[in-house]
Amino acid sequence: MTTARKVLLVLGLILGVPLLALAALVVAISIDEAPPFDDDLRVARLDIPDDQNAFTYFQQAIEKLDLPKDDEPAMDSPAPPPKVKPLPGEEPAPDAPPPNRNQRWADLRRGDVEWDQPIADEVLRRNEAALALWEKSLDVPHYQTPLPERYTYDIQLPCCWPHLAIANVVGIRSRDRARRGDHEGAFDDALRLARFGQQVETGRGVLVEYLVGLTIKGMGTCLIREQVKTCTLPSSRLRHYAAELARYPCVGQGLVDAWRVEYACQVSAIEEMASGDMDFTGIGSAEPKRHLGPAERLLWRAGRSPFFKPNRTRRMFAETMRKMVEDAPKRYNEIRHIDSDERPLNPVMAVLRGNAIGEMIYRLLMPALRGVHHLKCQTNVQVAATRTLLAMKAYKLDKGRLPETLEQLVPEYLDAVPIDDFDGKRLRYNAAKKIIYSVGKDLEDNGGTTKQEFIDARLKERGFDPKDADPGQLRNIEDEYPWEAADPAFAIEF
């Protein structure tokens, strides 16, 4: 072989081997893996006849729902003044029209104004039929939300708004009854909200519906804590409500089902991305029918990219969801906190792994799921603290004083001291500060934090003197209490 041929052969090897290696790498990263095993993540559904499903009557209730709308004129009666003096720039203009019915209803729901009896009377009158059907739904043993015919990335949840709308009407009715001296009726409504929240939590719906259930249950327990301060119910009724409320903990199975439905949504979105048929309109089309945001456009284009592997992406979600399901029944201190990789995504390594788009989608979606277990524990603590406050009020009515320890409430007022769902130990009581408290997500017992202690500490952290704080600063900080405190606490105000 001549020298020239040897040189050409060497050059060919030098150039050819990397090209062959590159070609082999491209082929390797372009091959997706087999679909993962995920039978254990399938949604378990019950075969319930419509007339035995509470959701049937709830649907009938929302069809009767009649709330104020923006196009309804203002009422003849004057609007009440705001509860807090408006800040400069928040005051309405001197010639501004009076608030319409919808604005007054929204202000009353949020608690932004003093009690607005005319709008409360009107809304309750207009919704008598809806509330009667809703109460009927509470007596039906099974509640199961129908799943959408098709999961989409842009999934619509038409029943979430009515859930909260009915809960708001019931909350106003409870407060109205309390103002009229019907404390038993007020407490019954609050307890109905806790039961309704339990139904929604365990209704085998999408994750957002589970969270709506937690919110509604929180509304019910909040009403009880608000009204126990001044109620005139006898000790026996307070003990009854404490026992009834024990029936509505946030059970693990509700969250298990919600995670499984969430996984079904993720799988459906992955499959639609792979087919190029993402439905952003509710119609179903390979071309978007409206303006898409950056995240939506990324998803719509993902299925056409060689760096999107549907099965690999599905496996990542399945592995995480399996851990979520395993952790759902556990207390906060027992769970393995699911965190996506906090380090910036290395685009070169992601491309070499062959699923850069899938990894990006995973990172976009998973962080939003981290706080769900925390919210479940918060709601359980609210239920536990509310039961404890009811028992303490009953104890004080009977003994003329508060107990020195929570153990003194057992067994006459409570079957056992309620558990703190954050660390699995008994709920705490600081007699000197007159608070019931939880250790919170840091799992450290700091003796409990009163609202005023929290406000003062927050103002000092931000460089403000508590004596000179303006209403706006105080409002923002008050909204953070109690769950941003080191030890979330509930005041004993009776």
Amino acid at 448: G
Least reliable range by pLDDT among 89-103, 240-254, 265-279, 331-345:
331-345
Average pLDDT over residues 34-57: 91
Q: Is the pLDDT of residue 218 over 90?
A: yes
Q: What is the pLDDT of residue 255?
A: 95
| Confidence band, pLDDT 50/70/90 cuts, at residue 32 | confident
pLDDT at 304: 61
- Would the pLDDT of 432 be above 90? yes
Give dist(CA 195, CA 197) in Å, integer. 5
Burial readout 187-226 (b: 16 or more C-beta within 10 A, e: otherwise):
bebbbbbbbbbbbbbbbbbbbbbbbbbbbbbbbbbebbbb
pLDDT (tens digit per residue) in 295-305: 555 555 655 67
143-152, 290-299, 400-409: range with lowest mean pLDDT: 290-299
pLDDT tens figures, 340-359: 455 566 666 766 677 888 88
**Is residue 130 exposed (0-12), middle (13-18) or buried (19+ Cβ within 10 Å)?**
buried
Average pLDDT over residues 274-288: 51
SS3 128: helix
How do residues 303-325 score in pLDDT, each as one tens digit? Answer: 567 788 899 999 999 999 999 99
Residue 281 confidence (pLDDT)? 44
Q: Do 271 and 310 meet the contact criterion of CB atoms below 8 Å apart? A: yes
- From CA 451, how far away is CA 444, in angstroms rounded? 18
Using a pLDDT cut of 70, give the percent of the chain over it.
81
According to the model, what pLDDT value does residue 33 have?
A: 86
Indicate whether 440 pLDDT > 70. Answer: yes
Report whether 422 contacts 333 (CB < 8 A).
Answer: yes
- Rounded Cα–Cα distance for residues 45 and 260 (Å): 11
The confidence score (pLDDT) of residue 87 equals 65
Mean pLDDT of 38-53: 91
Mean pLDDT of the region 407-425: 97
d(C-alpha 443, C-alpha 426), whole Å: 13
Which pLDDT score is estimated for 285?
A: 41
Is the four-CA dihedral 179, 183, 184, 190 of positive or negative sign? positive
The per-residue pLDDT for range 64-121, each reduced to its tens digit, is 999 999 888 888 899 898 887 766 666 777 777 889 999 999 999 999 899 999 999 9
Q: How confident is the model at residue 489 (pLDDT cuts 50, 70, 90)?
A: very high
With a pLDDT cut of 90, the percent of the chain lying above it is 57
In this prediction, residues 150-167 reach a mean pLDDT of: 69
Write out pLDDT tens, residues 115-139: 999 999 999 999 999 999 999 999 9
Confidence of residue 276 (pLDDT cuts 50, 70, 90): low
pLDDT value at position 287? 46
Q: Kindly report the CA angle at 190 between 185 and 196, in degrees rounded to 5?
A: 120
Distance from the Cα of residue 330 to its chain's centroid? 18
pLDDT at 222: 97
The phi, psi pair for 331, rounded to 5°, reads -80, 165
Question: What band does 153 get if pLDDT is binned at 50, 70 and 90?
Answer: very low
CB environment 301-325: b (16+ within 10 A), e (fewer) = ebbeeebbbbbbbbbbbbebbbebb
Of 146 and 3, more confident: 146
Distance, CA of 5 to chain centre = 73
Q: Please tell me the distance from the alpha carbon of residue 160 to that of residue 255, in angstroms, as a whole number.
A: 17
Whole-model pTM over 0.85: yes
Q: In what order do the strands lie in the sheet with 489-491?
A: 428-430, 435-437, 489-491
Residue 374, burial from CB neighbour count under 10 angstroms (0-12, 13-18, 19+): middle
Res 343: pLDDT: 56
**Residue 169 · residue 130 · CB < 8 Å:** yes
For residues 299 and 276, the model is more confident at 276
* Helix 117-126 / helix 160-179 crossing angle, nearest 10 deg: 120
Distance CA(54)–CA(48), nearest Å, equals: 10
Is the model's pLDDT at 290 over the cut of 50?
A: no
Low-confidence winner among 276-285, 341-350, 370-379 (lowest mean pLDDT)? 276-285
Give the pLDDT band of residue 156 (cuts 50, 70, 90): very low
Predicted pLDDT of residue 283: 36
Q: Give the separation between CA 315 and CA 461, rounded to whole angstroms.
A: 44
Q: What is the mean pLDDT of residues 190-201?
A: 97
Q: Are 278 and 225 in contact (CB under 8 A)?
A: no
Q: How confident is the model at residue 412 (pLDDT cuts 50, 70, 90)?
A: very high
